[in-house]
A = this chain, B = another copy of it.
Amino acid sequence: MIEDKNQQRTQLSDLGEFGLIDHLTQNFKITQSSTVKGIGDDAAVLNFENKRVVVTTDLLVEGVHFDLSYVPLKHLGYKSIVVNLSDVFAMNAKATQVTVSIAVSNRFPLEALEELYAGIETAANVYGIDVIGGDTTSSTTGLLISVTALGEVEANEEVYRNGAKSNDLLVVSGDLGAAYMGLQVLEREKEVYKVNPNNQPDLEPYTYIIERQLKPEARKDIPVLLAELGVKPTAMIDVSDGLSSEIIHICKQSEVGCDLYEEKIPLDPQVISTCEEFDIDSTTVALNGGEDYELLFTISQDDYVKIKANPNLTVIGHMKQASEGMHLVTRADTRIPIKAQGWKNFNA
């Protein structure tokens, strides 16, 4: 028997630019009442009534933010939406719409873009948002995804980075460091694969941390939860660059200091065990790893009773006078100044 070895591979040039956009977005549905007109005109038209509108944007670049040798395109599409929604939630807002633009080289067949857009569509469905526009163009090399996300929030319910006060409590959702350790495992397996492509990696012990890297979720639930608990944070930010970096943003913009307690930093058991395996300090990973997409916020001490029993939230420190500085208080009770590391994309 003769096998058909041709994988389906449609050239992008077969469709042209308009055909491509139409094809990729044909399944997208409008579900938000604020969307008057989505894709298909010079611009989308939205109606937020008297609510405040939040707008945020992010670029994801192949070879800088993702490596297609171990990131499935569907996951990448999903993640490209999630990282933007995380910024909307960090304003205490509800995410409502996104625009998605991609630049892509001819080496990608149509089927690859369909995978990418399937991930985008899944994220839109999971988070209940509308894809209202975008642009699709060729690039001379690689894949680049630019997403702009919009959200809505009642006037005066938005939360900035600059409202933290001395004595406020510092709170974080979920746990930290998992996405970074997931990346370490994926990069190790890539090296192993290069040496021996027949080696079947056992990724079972790393399921959680790999999922946190490849398919992160944004904390849509936290603004809702805080509203239910009757808590309005004094400042909020999402943890995309690492806990250190985000604490510094809040402290600088709010003109306060901070004590962060090492023993309070929430870590998943898989993060701890993988850190031991890689001989990396788990606190360093939580502080500098990034890509957690958890929410970091400050609340008045008066609100402590409202949040203390909630398993989604951990108090990890408290704010001080700016003159007292920003410190990590270690398990050994020493005080180490907090410095930003995070991602340095421009380093050669």
Contact = CB atoms under 8 A, between A and B. Distances in A.
Contacts of A160: 37, 41
Interface stretch (A23-31, A45-53, A202-210): A45-53
Interface in A233-249: 236-238
A106 B53 contact: no
B40 A56 contact: no
B138 A64 contact: yes
Contact of A57 (B11, B54, B87, B146): B146
Given A64-B140, A253-B40, A57 B90 contact: no
Interface in A25-73: 36-37, 40-50, 52-59, 61-65
Tally of this chain's copies: 2
Contacts of A49: 50
Contacts of A55: 43-44, 46, 97, 99, 132-133, 148, 150
Interface stretch (A14-22, A118-126, A171-179, A260-268): A14-22
A58 B90 contact: no
Nearest to A151: B43
Q: Which of A36, A46, A59, A155 has the most CB of B within 10 A?
A: A59
A139 B144 contact: yes
A91 interface: yes
Contacts of A47: 52-53, 155
A24 to B, nearest CB: 13
Contact of A139 (B44, B64, B102): B64
A331 interface: no
Contacts of A63: 140
A44 B242 CA distance: 21
A88 interface: yes
Interface string A135-146: 101111110101
A160 B149 CA distance: 23
B90 A17 contact: no
Q: Which 4 A-B pairs have the closest CB atoms?
A: A43-B56, A146-B146, A42-B90, A43-B54
Given A55-B97, A57-B99, A59-B146, 9 more contacts: A15-B346, A40-B253, A41-B160, A42-B238, A57-B133, A59-B102, A59-B144, A61-B138, A141-B141
